[in-house]
Structure 1
Amino acid sequence: MTASKAVFALIHGGWHNHSSWSKVTPFLEAQGFTALTIDLPGAGVHALAPTSRDHRPFDPVAFASERSPVAEATQEERTEAVIALVKQAAPLGSGKVILVGHSAGGMTVSAVAERVPELLLAVVYLAGFMVPKGMPLLTMLQHETMSSALAPKLFIGDPIAIGATRIHAGSTDEAYRALLKASFYADVPEADFAQAASQLHCDESNAGALAPSEITPGRFGSVPRHYIRCTRDCAVPLSGQDHMIATVDGSIGGKTITHTLESSHSPFLSQPANLSKILVDIALRSNTAQ
């Protein structure tokens, strides 16, 4: 890698972990870029499952009501973790980082862009939640443009009572697994879907869905932003993606640069080469503009 190249920091979405990017990083590295990933607090190696998940025989009532062991996790913890990753990444390249957030990870990359805009060459949303100041993810998810989203049908139990939004990725119920695939992985080969599902954790702390966006024109708005639209997304529908782009552009100013993939919610699995090409193009464009 040449010293002039930016480094990518790749942030996973809800219920996922750093392995989301395992098919993308080799493409980026083949083009001479470094890419760092992370398990956010409460995810991956940091995830804790409700004990009822592993009880046999499985008790669906207990699983739907047990208090989440990650209920106290905060959005601030995730923001701080990614700021630390960005600070680690910056000296490895040009001194600035291209920060990429998938799905709910968009809330974290927005918070980081607001806090350390001077360390970012660009911020990129992959079918990500990019919401205006003062709005939490949950409010955006309830907008009419999100009404066709399938993912909420996966949710189990009362999020307020259990302190988290819970799914059951390990369910053996055929209808539930079909809904999981349709929501996140509609165009992903079956073997890759099975592997991805095995990596998902049960609980996303409510903090990530309830913490309001704090983006401002002066800080977040100073970072070039890109949005990769996924046209066949059933978790964050295209109409919702376009609504978020228009809303943030209208409230923050400037223009989000858009890119489009004919994909489901998880092009890092179904189209890693095409996704990587877009990311490399963003990096090259950003270096030229710097």
Structure 2
Amino acid sequence: MTETFVLVHGAWHGGWCWAAVINQLERLGDRAYAVDLPGHGMNRADRAKVTLDSYVNSVAEFIERRDLKNVVLAGHSLGGLTIPGVAAKIPARIKRVVWVTAMVALDGQPTIDAATTPLAAAIDSMPERSITIEMLGKEAIDGLTNDMAPGLKEYVMAALGPQPLAPLLAPVPMAPYFATGIPSSYVVCEDDHMPVGGAPNWHPYFSSRLRNPTLKFVKSGHEVMLTHPVECARALHELASGD
């Protein structure tokens, strides 16, 4: 059975990061699309005006414009904040939602509490209200690239762009997504060393916030779609098929 995937990137990335996964999904007989969220990749929206709602609306409109149905909606990393909103907005078009080593919010809570995060105030005063990964320091860069070959690391670091702050400060409504009853899945990257919220692992720290998710495990670091695209595509395909 041919599956239809819409792939949502995470912080600093663009739709470009899914290229190899799309190639592999097509080899498996599926259709796959990657979006550029506002202010990312080829989407030249003003980063200072980007919000979580604009992320959600852009993906929902992408799906509606193409009249896509039975969509397997997958989000990587920060993309996990966008995908539940999309599913709640257009539930009749969504078959399954997959968090790919991605953030799962607590209902009504933001990713970053601006009141207790000094860096947030500094970013908020910048013209683009955005942050680069370099601003987070060596630990974040090492965590992001821990299993990359030198050439791939060089390419990825050159391709990453600024990340707008506002989506990280916005409360994320999860209850509307859970109310849809759309099945949830989580791709667990066993070597994900990207630091997050003081937790040692993305699984089960985030995955446990979902309701009865199906899990797939991949021996990979955080950037699974770039370092292990074959395994990432296979996991997505099997989750979509219910395997």
TM over 0.5: yes
- Report the CA distance between 1:227 and its aligned residue: 0.7
User: Pick from 232, 235, 241: which aligns with 1:278?
Assistant: 235
Partners in 2 of 1:89 and 1:114 — Cα distance? 18
User: Pick from 7, 11, 30: which aligns with 1:10?
Assistant: 7
Q: Does 1:159 align with 2:116?
A: no
Q: Does 1:78 align with 2:43?
A: no
- Partner residue in 1 for 2:150: 190
- Partner residue in 1 for 2:107: 133
Q: 1:218 to 1:267 in 2, by over 3 A?
A: closer
- Pairs within 5 Å for 1:85-96: 85-91=62-68, 95-96=69-70
Q: Does 1:232 align with 2:209?
A: no
Counterpart residue identity of residue 265, structure 1:
H
- Report the CA distance between 1:81 and its aligned residue: 0.8
Give the unaligned 5+ runs of structure 2: none
Instruction: Give CA-to-partner distance per residue, 1:212-269, whole Å, 9 cap, x none.
Output: 11122675551100011122222246534312222343xxxxx111222221110111
Instruction: Give CA-to-partner distance per residue, 1:71-110, whole Å, 9 cap, x none.
Output: 221211111110012224554xxx3100000011111101
TM-score by length of 2: 0.86
RMSD: 2.6
- Report the CA distance between 1:46 and its aligned residue: 2.7
- Pairs within 5 Å for 1:181-260: 181-202=141-162, 204-216=163-175, 220-235=179-194, 236=196, 239-249=201-211, 255-260=212-217
The worse-fitting range, judged by mean Cα deviation, of 121-130 and 215-224 is 215-224
Q: 1:156 to 1:263 in 2, by over 3 A?
A: farther
TM-score by length of 1: 0.73
The worse-fitting range, judged by mean Cα deviation, of 10-19 and 204-213 is 204-213
Partners in 2 of 1:23 and 1:33 — Cα distance? 13
Secondary structure of the 1:113 match is helix
Aligned residues: 235
- Report the CA distance between 1:211 and its aligned residue: 1.3
Looking at CA atoms only, which structure, 1 or 2, has the larger radius of gyration? 1
Counterpart residue identity of residue 7, structure 1:
T
Counterpart residue identity of residue 44, structure 1:
G
Task: Determine if contact 1:18/1:37 at 8 Å carries over to the other structure.
Answer: yes
Give the unaligned 5+ runs of structure 1: 49-68, 143-151, 250-254
Secondary structure of the 2:47 match is coil
Counterpart residue identity of residue 186, structure 1:
N
Q: Percent identity?
A: 23
Task: Determine if contact 1:231/1:238 at 8 Å carries over to the other structure.
Answer: no
Task: Determine if contact 1:107/1:213 at 8 Å carries over to the other structure.
Answer: yes
- Report the CA distance between 1:168 and its aligned residue: 5.6
Secondary structure of the 2:75 match is strand
Instruction: Give CA-to-partner distance per residue, 1:268-290, whole Å, 9 cap, x none.
Output: 1111111111011012218xxxx
User: Pick from 25, 40, 53: which aligns with 2:22?
Assistant: 25
Task: Determine if contact 1:41/1:78 at 8 Å carries over to the other structure.
Answer: yes
Secondary structure of the 2:74 match is strand
